[in-house]
A and B are shown apart, each in its own frame.
Chain A
Amino acid sequence: MLTIAVASGKGGTGKTTVTANLAVWLASQNVDVAALDCDVEEPNLHLFLRPVWTKTTPENVPVPEVDEERCLGEECRKCVDLCRFKSLIMMAGSVMVFPELCHGCGLCTLACPARAIREGAREIGVVRTGATAGADSARIPVVGGEMRIGEAMAPPLILAVKRTAPASAVRLIDCPPGTSCPVIASLGGADLAVLVTEPTPFGLHDLELAVGVLRKMDIPFGVVINRDGMGDDRTHRYLEREGIPLLGTLPHSAEAAHCYSEGRLHVDALPGFREAYASIWENIRTLAAREVSR
């Protein structure tokens, strides 16, 4: 299995469009491909792939439940004092749990001398699985997570999405934006990453942040420049200077923007995009081959 993470330092660069279009193009070439939406805070891969969801599974993280009968109360306080996330407090002699603050680390359960704590479950969101409609050979399995609003624990849900995804020859992961834990969780285990950027100063700056993440994680990567022609050539020059492979460019056009705004796929609707994705895929394969022999 070749796992390809599609990432960008920031939202709005076209990461999701590239994931969706590449997936559909690969399926049309009879490549066995699955698409994963790991942007669990704001999933929108499904807006482009329009899968029929067939299964929705709640994802839980552990959270302590205190047995008042057993708890030693004010005299002990061990769990309360040890929890670094202030998710337990002592109130009128009994332990109160604030589940939203709990990281599910298990320290309180481990430390309780009276065995008064057992671990229950708190739902952080759901994992949905399904497939795109379409002819059998072109059906793409899609897996995505959706976090409960107000929930802060994205990484466990992201890992659940990856666990749930079916085995396939190629796995495309639509990563969340940014450089913090959710991206790290999404990138973990990827064979290579495709960074999507725009050729503008903002785009370049965000790209540099994403490059920092991938270098730190030691994952090979290349870059796709989206909306090429809208800005200047400093992104091209940056890639040359840094020796980063340019996997391909997608042209900047009003039609492409309009098409995107309606959630339609470029490879289906516009001329030239199929060829662009074909060449991107060729370059991804070359990069992957080079890395395997490294």
Chain B
Amino acid sequence: MKELVVISGKGGTGKTTVTAALAALAGHKVMADCDVDAADLHLVLAPENRTATEFYSGQVAVIDPERCIRCGECATNCRYEAIDADFTVHKEHCEGCGVCAYVCPTDAAGMIERMCGHWYSSETRFGKMIHAHLGIGEENSGKLVTTVRKEARKAAEEVGAELIITDGPPGVGCPVIASLGGTDLALAVAEPTLSALHDLKRVHKLTRHFQVPMMAVVNKADINPLLTEEIRNWCTESGVEIAGVLPYDQIVTDAQIHGLSVVEHDPDGFGQHMRSVWDKVSRKLFA
């Protein structure tokens, strides 16, 4: 079984559009949305019949008002200002370190498991999909990404799929790190802007660190042909194969509005571009 992850140095480059298009083109596969902070893939794939599972990670403090003698030890020792003057815990600031529970003389402060979000297993018109939603102010997106990947792998084994297509998180932080390790190919989507090459170099460093081969797609190339050329040159020099150079096209937004992948919405135009991207990607994946 192969695992393809679509990434981008920053948000808004068209990562989800590319992922959805590949989902429409690839054969027997399972989709995973690892952009758990702000997942969008479901807007195109319209998952149904989902089962939702609570996701727990780390701990959070709770203070029992019955036992609290308002001595202030917890608030004084908390370094995150998570406990206010009324001895209420502010979950969004609590790191779950347990200092309050340790110093509380009456055992009023204690720690409970922290519910950080949900992950879902759903059906789509392209096959099974595993996705997730992280609660507001929750951090452990790296762990949730790991859960989504693990469940996607399980699902792929169950249905005998030969491929997992993952919509990765943007950026180069902890969630991306969690989504890269052990995958077979990373496809980086970049647009030709001043910061794109910088971002591309950073994700390339990451993929090299994990020894994951990387290919690149330049999206909205005609926004700035000069920068597109620069990205191309850098790719050639760095041994990053270019899977495609896509034009800026209003049809991409139209597809989104219709809740369709570009391959379904514009099979002969933009769909053709994506087909050629998929050809190159699948050749590399299944070589």
Contact = CB atoms under 8 A, between A and B. Distances in A.
Report whether chain A binds chain B: yes
B10 interface: yes
Contacts of B150: none
Given A180-B137, A213-B136, A261-B227, A106 B38 contact: no
B139 A180 contact: yes
A82 B139 contact: no
A181 interface: yes
Interface stretch (A26-34, A164-172, A201-209): A201-209
Interface string B134-174: 10111101000000000000000000000000000011111
Given A107-B97, A152-B174, A180-B141, A42 B134 contact: no
B235 interface: no
Contacts of A111: 102
A82 B38 CA distance: 34
A230 B199 CA distance: 25
Contacts of A44: 195
B245 to A, nearest CB: 15
A213 B171 contact: no
B254 to A, nearest CB: 9
Contacts of B97: 84-85, 103, 105, 107
Contacts of B13: 12
A180 B170 contact: no
Contact of B134 (A41, A105, A180): A180
B194 A263 contact: yes
A260 B11 CA distance: 15
Contact of B223 (A42, A181, A257): A257
A231 interface: yes
B257 to A, nearest CB: 5
A258 B195 CA distance: 13
Contacts of A231: 253, 256-257
Interface in B199-232: 199, 202, 220, 223-224, 227
B95 interface: yes
B56 to A, nearest CB: 14
B134 A179 contact: yes
Interface in A147-184: 149, 152, 177-181, 184
Contacts of B256: 200-202, 231
A230 B13 CA distance: 15
Interface in B175-210: 191-195, 199, 202
Contact of B38 (A85, A103, A177, A230): A177
A19 interface: no
Contacts of B194: 47, 261-263
**Contact size class for A?**
35 or more
A104 B277 CA distance: 46
Given A202-B40, A206-B38, A257-B223, A13 B12 contact: yes
Contacts of A177: 11, 37-38, 170
Interface string A1-41: 00000000111110000000000000000000000000001
A213 B191 CA distance: 28
Contacts of B59: 84
Contacts of A258: 223-224
A239 interface: no
A13 B9 CA distance: 15
A205 B136 CA distance: 14
Interface string B82-126: 000000000011011111001100000000000000000000000
Nearest to B194: A263
Contacts of B137: 179-181, 184, 213, 216
B58 interface: yes
Interface in B1-55: 9-13, 16, 37-38, 40, 43
5 contacts: A11-B12, A105-B98, A180-B137, A201-B259, A257-B220
- Report, nearest first, the 4 A-B pairs whose CB atoms are least far apart: A12-B12, A11-B11, A105-B97, A261-B224
Interface of A: 9-13, 41-42, 44, 47, 82, 84-85, 103-107, 110-111, 149, 152, 177-181, 184, 200-202, 205-206, 209, 212-213, 216, 230-232, 254, 257-258, 260-263
Given A105-B97, A184-B137, 10 more contacts: A9-B38, A11-B171, A12-B170, A106-B77, A181-B138, A184-B92, A184-B93, A201-B43, A206-B40, A230-B250
